[in-house]
Structure 1
Amino acid sequence: MKLQKIDFEPIGRRGECPAGQSLLEAAHQLGVELVSLCGGKGTCHRCKVQVLAGRVSPPTENEKGTLSPQELKNGYRLACETYPLGDCKLSVPPESLTAPQRTQVEGLEVAVSPEPPVRAYHFELPPPSIEDMRADAKRVLETLYQQHRVRCCTIDLEVLRSLSPQLRSGNWQAQASIRGDEIIAIRPWPSRQLGLAVDVGTTKIAGYLLDLDSGQTLAAQGIMNPQIASGEDVISRITYIGKSSSAAARLQRLVIKALNQLVVDLCAEAEAKTKEILEIVVVGNTAMHHLLLRLPVAQLALSPFLPAVSKALDIKARDLGLRIAPGAYVHLLPNIAGFVGADHVAMLLATEVWQTGGVTLALDIGTNTEVALVSDGEIASVSCASGPAFEGAHIKDGMRAAPGAIERLRLVDDAIEYQTIGGAPPVGLCGSGILDAISQLHLAGVLDASGRMGDHPRVRTVGEQREFVLVSEEEREGWGEQEKRPAITITQNDVRELQLAKGAIRSGIQVLLDAAGHAVPEIEQVIIAGAFGSYIDVDSAITIGMLPRLPLCRFRQVGNAAGMGAKLALISQRQRVEAQRIANRVRYIELTTAPNFTQTFINATYIGYHESG
């Protein structure tokens, strides 16, 4: 029977399905729970997917009547009526899933007094007369100085276009929102001043809606970065851009569209208006930063790995296509070098590790992992290409953190005890579950230090590859699965993928320690940030040699610290100054040029590697 490879993004679920199955049948076989209220009859129109790559059957008459011409042109189809004609890559919109993927927005909270870059001032003008024929704009500028001693030089053009009718409809009083020496909004008094903090990750985007005056968080949401359809890591996206002159513009459009939808969703949650948002702060690694601004990225992957720009930037939101207040700005925190960007600066800002004495290690674990070592008042940082394995990519039964993903796992005698997200029937493994599985198999002696899989009652050989059965076909039937579904396993290739990912992180740590002349026991504190880092079992990470062997009391998991840093920079000008100081202090180390890096990396791929600790 001919098999076709189907890849469901951004969930990260992929596998082989027999030819002749619809995309809906393939989804259900692979554990992707598409909405299908009509049972696949084509009447509920809820199983919409987008075909990103590959050939599929032509649209049916039902699809032509249900989907708009633009949707069909963009590759949208009803999964129940579409049949793959070969290998396919699909994007699944959130509304087509029965349950959403888990994204990390929570993180540590840091108290800071609001000192926003945008200030609100109430003013009242006397009605104009034949004796006072000053222009409306001039009267506003002079009145603000007279009433508040605020000297403004400019009024945003879009604000100026609506100024005259707004003053007259408001009976000559209003609220001016001033940023620096520029009036960026004129609105009725009193009006809320809101801001948006955004962490644009390689895989996920986290957004926070705040009241600029109080610093209160009104809403927070996480979504997938839609650019993932064009590459699961930064190098893949840079390669994608190099193949087409229009690719960079397309990736920028994707992220801008996602940010605009995030704005709408956050405002709906907070019962706010999008035009009330007067400031946005964005953080991300240098690649995400450059793709957002459509700056060149090829040089990021070439020695000496220089960004196009490193200083903090202030850009009109409308120039990027962001639909908030017309005069609002986007502030981007400074980058450092290579792929160490504004998100790393934001993480250091939020955790305040740069102010600590002693030796502190700080990691923001993700598809692209940044690691900083703070010692003797110095900060050194590296970027580790840990890759998408922690997101479930390149793992046979891997998936991202969604209901049914195994997130905790223990091997007790010959039995597997596991916990799934949402308590749902097991579908696959997310990053923390993969980490636990490798750790448990190593402790049980199934995996040796080289990663080779040995004998065990649950080990079997399929084709030319060994695999360890975590949940058998029979055990899945015990969950009441109506269709017979394949076992969930960890294969020998999965182990190798995990070794590469954890080896990248552990070698980065070792390079930093060697450069600073420190040994593992001297590390007094380890800060673990990032969505993946929030959910891992630290003991498992130590067992496999991804993290240094230290007492558990020295580890602190802080959630989305980069997002918290973005929030701090949003409400406090002083924090923006601190962010620039941090960026100026960081010494970037390029891993590939570090002494003996190749051997360090090879050593770090060994399971249980703790050579220097």
Structure 2
Amino acid sequence: MFKVTFKFGSGEDVTTFAQEGENLLDVARKTNVAIDAPCGGNASCGKCKVKLVDGELDSPKTRHISDEEYGNGWRLACVSKIMGDVAVEVPDIASAYRSRMKVADLSSKEEIAIFENAKNDLEAAGLALTNSMEILEISMEVPSLDDTMPDNERLVRAIKKQTGATSVRLPYQVLTKMARVFRDSHFEVRCVARTSSAGDIFVYDVYPKDAEVVIGGLAIDIGTTTVSALLINMLTGEIIGKASAGNGQIRYGADVINRIIESMKPGGSKKLQEAIIEETINPLIEQMCRASGFLPEHIYRMAVAANTTMNHLMAGMEGDPIRMEPYIPTFYKTNSLFASDIGIHINRDAHIIIAPNIGSYVGGDITAGTLVSMLWNRPEFSLFIDLGTNGELVFGNSDFMMSCACSAGPAFEGGDISCGMRATDGAIEACTIDKKTMDPSYSVIGKEGEKPIGLCGSGIIDVIAELFRTGIINPKGKFVREGKRVRHDEYGMGSYVLAFEEEAGSVKDVEINEVDIDNFIRAKGAIFSAIRTMLASIDFEVEMIDDVYVAGGIGSGINMENAVRIGMFPDIPIEKFHYIGNSSLAGAYTMLLSRDAERKCYDLASNMTYLELSTVPSYMDEFVACCFIPHTDTSLFPSSVQES
């Protein structure tokens, strides 16, 4: 056995032991050390770079590491084998997906604006902001030698008499505490209960009559890259806590296909489930509860919005049928999950509401997003776009809706980009470039003076648009200008340096290269070709779009002009575009808060037409035509042509 030490910039080393010949990335995974490997560890992405500090590794040089880098100790973790005691440095960019769990400052109006707007919009549409959770004030006769009815029957009879319920269910954890609570409060209690549409009552908890009781609810958006959560008061809708973190499954691959493949290996399903629940969701709950002084066992209901694969992996179900023809998942909708079934650390009897999936690759996150985008309540023709590892689209109005999904890849969330990262501290989220000097000006997420360590999605859009606007790259994404920030490696591949090592918060320059740009061109091409293909299938033109609602947590917002400039969005008036943030989490929040909203979400999923793009012969031609900046047909982007 050999000692393996992972070193981080924070100074918090992690040490473990490994057998000779073990793969370094596998050792990191087993030790719960986050090293980004979007390709799943097959050496195709080059993002699992670590720096050899001490000892030795059996590690060949790959195309992702230059001679100079290799000489300085840089290695790919996925192709490195343990040969003896070893210490490696894990740079910030390699662990950015998992680092810096963020607990939001709820005093910031921007943090809660989207949720307040969602509530107001749904209420204006006639949906009541009421749910099935309530606090029942119950008084019972004190038992005596003449009244020997047991505690459970006494409570059930009192609840039925007071509410008219047809049946009352008391779970095990209520039974275990009834005796003490009843006698301490002289048989006057407060019950946390849920009433079903059939009039049945489920009692989650009992408290003494004078106890202060808050019914907590948990809303979660499980993205392929990022997981976000809200802790709320179910009775008032008040947001008690908000937090986000990287999805712990990221080390098994950046996309759902790699994760499904990993889940089918021996013990894989359990590893994927533990990564999302034990390493991501439960720590988020713990952080929010600690910050707000709330007890996790007082969370009695949970709503999840996620894509179809994430739903299945969270539930510990097989995902392989999702990726195999005829692409049939275990469920599109289900009401059968409870917290104790899958190990969520809240009240064990908490019911888990899952936003319904529409297809194998259009999930509940899109249904929830469509709910709060309000497409279904407007006569105008609107387009809803959720930018993530998969690009999902919904087009329609109050009369019809159609959806589709395209494989954009992880580029919008920093994957497939050498300096890419999720939208967390240290990420460049906006950028402009001086046309004459080619020097950048950028804003970085985090506290004032935060140094950049990489680019998040909105920053990538800005940088590529600015490189094109200033003539530094051509429509193919190749560098055509020279300067101190433009350089070429030994193979002739060009790159642009946003921050040199001394300016950056990392151990390397922050730069974007031609491979990165090519990956992003394909990602933006997938979005625009999907828009064109879906509209063409119903004889619509892009000029007929009245509004575009863009969602996704890729930064504080998207510069829509830049998104149009590079050919990602259609060239229509900028005022038609609206960035609505994390609509998936907002949808989960409203489903939690409103029974009407929950029902509406199911109704939307049932009535939405799903278009499978792979069955449309013209889609691939559209996609190939989009793999230019802005497009091979420049007449589609007159504003970009005029600028250039």
TM-score (norm 1): 0.83
Match of 2:174 in 1: 159
Question: Paired residue for 1:417, among 440, 459, 462?
Answer: 440
Post-superposition Cα deviations, 1:170-213, rounded to whole Å, max 9, x if no partner, equal 32121222222222222233411111111111111111011111
3-state SS of the aligned residue for 1:415? Answer: coil
Q: CA deviation at 1:425?
A: 2.8
Q: Equivalent residues in 2 for 1:186-205 (5 A)?
A: 186-189=206-209, 190=211, 191-205=213-227
What is the CA RMSD across the aligned residues, in angstroms?
3.2
2:209 pairs with 1:209: no
3-state SS of the aligned residue for 1:575? Answer: helix
2:402 pairs with 1:436: no
Q: Equivalent residues in 2 for 1:168-247 (5 A)?
A: 168-179=183-194, 180=196, 181=200, 182-189=202-209, 190=211, 191-242=213-264, 244-247=265-268
Label 1:95 to 1:170 Cα distance change in 2 as closer, same or farther (>3 A).
Answer: farther
2:489 pairs with 1:462: yes
2:473 pairs with 1:450: no
Larger CA deviation: 279-288 vs 486-495: 486-495
CA contact (8 A) 2:385 2:549 kept: yes
Return the letter of the residue paired with 1:88.
A
3-state SS of the aligned residue for 1:178? Answer: strand
Question: Paired residue for 2:31, among 49, 65, 74?
Answer: 74
Between the two proteins, the alignment pairs up a number of residues equal to 558
2 CA distance for matches of 1:254 and 1:195?
22
Q: Equivalent residues in 2 for 1:570-589 (5 A)?
A: 570-589=592-611
Q: CA deviation at 1:357?
A: 1.1
CA contact (8 A) 2:97 2:422 kept: no
Return the letter of the residue paired with 2:477.
G
CA contact (8 A) 1:105 1:221 kept: no
Return the letter of the residue paired with 1:172.
F
Q: CA deviation at 1:424?
A: 2.3
2:406 pairs with 1:384: yes
3-state SS of the aligned residue for 2:362? Answer: coil
Post-superposition Cα deviations, 1:385-417, rounded to whole Å, max 9, x if no partner, equal 111122222223323334333222222112323
CA contact (8 A) 1:100 1:403 kept: no
Question: Paired residue for 2:528, among 506, 517, 521?
Answer: 506
Q: Equivalent residues in 2 for 1:319-398 (5 A)?
A: 319-375=341-397, 377-398=399-420
Post-superposition Cα deviations, 1:210-252, rounded to whole Å, max 9, x if no partner, equal 111111111111111101111111111012123x131011111
3-state SS of the aligned residue for 1:357? Answer: coil
2 CA distance for matches of 1:105 and 1:336?
29
Q: CA deviation at 1:593?
A: 0.9
Label 1:55 to 1:241 Cα distance change in 2 as closer, same or farther (>3 A).
Answer: closer
3-state SS of the aligned residue for 2:155? Answer: helix
Match of 1:5 in 2: none
3-state SS of the aligned residue for 1:565? Answer: helix
Specify every segment of 5 or more residues in structure 1 that has no aligned partner in the other structure, as ranges: 1-20, 28-33, 37-45, 60-70
Specify every segment of 5 or more residues in structure 2 that has no aligned partner in the other structure, as ranges: 35-50, 60-75, 79-89, 105-109, 638-644
Question: Paired residue for 1:524, among 546, 563, 566?
Answer: 546
Match of 1:88 in 2: 77
2:282 pairs with 1:248: no
CA contact (8 A) 1:416 1:470 kept: no
Question: Paired residue for 2:295, among 273, 285, 288?
Answer: 273
3-state SS of the aligned residue for 2:554? Answer: helix
CA contact (8 A) 2:423 2:555 kept: no
2 CA distance for matches of 1:499 and 1:116?
45
Identity %: 26
Q: Equivalent residues in 2 for 1:105-124 (5 A)?
A: 107-108=114-115, 109-110=117-118, 111=120, 112=123, 113-124=128-139
1 CA distance for matches of 2:136 and 2:219?
23
Match of 1:128 in 2: 143
Match of 2:629 in 1: 607
Larger CA deviation: 148-157 vs 505-514: 148-157
Q: CA deviation at 1:372?
A: 0.6
3-state SS of the aligned residue for 2:218? Answer: strand
Q: CA deviation at 1:306?
A: 2.4
CA contact (8 A) 2:418 2:512 kept: yes
3-state SS of the aligned residue for 2:530? Answer: helix
Match of 1:14 in 2: none
Return the letter of the residue paired with 2:77.
C
Return the letter of the residue paired with 2:468.
H
3-state SS of the aligned residue for 1:287? Answer: helix
Q: CA deviation at 1:501?
A: 0.9
Question: Paired residue for 1:406, among 411, 428, 434?
Answer: 428
3-state SS of the aligned residue for 1:138? Answer: helix
CA contact (8 A) 1:105 1:559 kept: no
1 CA distance for matches of 2:555 and 2:376?
20
CA contact (8 A) 1:545 1:604 kept: yes
Q: CA deviation at 1:452?
A: 3.2
TM-score (norm 2): 0.80
